[in-house]
Amino acid sequence: MYYPNSPWRLSSVSQSQFRLDRPDQLDGYTGVISVVIGAFDERGHNNKTAWGSTADEIAKEVWDQITKSLQRSSDGAPPPPQFYAIDKNLLFEGPGGTLSSNRTPFLVNSADRVGAFPERPGAYGVHMRHFVFAGTYLQTRTRLVTMEAANESARHAVNAIIRHGRAASGPNTGQLCPIFDPEEREPDELQLLHRIDAELLARGLPHWMDILVVEPQALALLDRGDGARGQSVMGALISVLEEAGGLGGELLRLIRLQIVGGV
């Protein structure tokens, strides 16, 4: 879930439905959510940034932003959490126990690394006849540290095992997993956005959503609650498209045709 109007740009994932041993009343809690903070430098409702906060302050402020964001929802806010845990790689060694460093900053590969697969470290092979390594730190064509890269890496590792088996037992052993470059399989509908993105990047310009101030405008409409359309982000975005003028309007009209279609 994305909380678009939260100052720290929060998003969250509900965890418990994925657990084999789901928590129940006997555990004293039934739900677990993971929250990702997207903007560590922005000031929250308490006028502090995540960097300037202690662990307790981060937990309290995150919950405050979530509940305020959910006030628009007819379901209301969920019950307050009983426990929280913060990523152990965030170190609270600043003055008064404030956040001072992040031992595992998120890595996003840069745009000029397209097609750089062979140069990435970590080829796949069977080591000592028993070990095959897999993981996002190894060679993948997926250029982002996500589950997709982890899955692709697993397929490379499986193929390494099959090739090893073929060398020992003959060419018909096992069936190789298909491996593809996800950037060669993007839907045609997204090509327009791709071209716009490439053009803006080549000119050193920001993302079109930032140029057209789409998100703040959509949020302002949400805050105004403009009738039925103001009740959803998509409705608010469509209103932005309709209100935009000039070249910006033309760009948004094209994007609307391609992406939003008849919504």
Ligand X SMILES: Cc1cc2nc3c(=O)[nH]c(=O)nc-3n(C[C@H](O)[C@H](O)[C@H](O)COP(=O)(O)OP(=O)(O)OC[C@H]3O[C@@H](n4cnc5c(N)ncnc54)[C@H](O)[C@@H]3O)c2cc1C
Q: Mask: binding to ligand X, 132-151, rule CB under 6 A, as x and -?
A: ---xx--------xxxx-x-
Q: Mask: binding to ligand X, 69-98, rule CB under 6 A, as x and -?
A: ------------------------------
Instruction: Write down the least CB distance from residue 156 to ligand X, Å.
Output: 12
Nearer to ligand X, 92 or 133 (CB): 133
Instruction: Write down the least CB distance from residue 93 to ligand X, Å.
Output: 21
**CA 156/CA 148 separation, integer angstroms:** 12
**CA 223/CA 217 separation, integer angstroms:** 10
**CA 174/CA 170 separation, integer angstroms:** 10
Instruction: Write down the least CB distance from residue 78 to ligand X, Å.
Output: 19
User: What six digits make up the tokens of 77?
Assistant: 């806010």
**CA 109/CA 119 separation, integer angstroms:** 13
Compute φ and ψ for 208, nearest 5 degrees.
-60, -30
Q: Mask: binding to ligand X, 232-251, rule CB under 6 A, as x and -?
A: --------------------
Q: Which residues in the 15-44 window bind ligand X by CB under 6 A?
A: 34
| Beta bridge partner(s), residue 90 | 102
How many residues of this chain bind ligand X (CB under 6 A)?
8
Instruction: Write down the least CB distance from residue 202 to ligand X, Å.
Output: 28
**CA 64/CA 253 separation, integer angstroms:** 37
Count how many Cα atoms sit within 13 Å of the Cα of residue 210 in the half-sphere of its side chain.
6
Instruction: Write down the least CB distance from residue 12 to ligand X, Å.
Output: 10
Q: Which residues bind ligand X (CB under 6 A)?
A: 34, 135-136, 145-148, 150
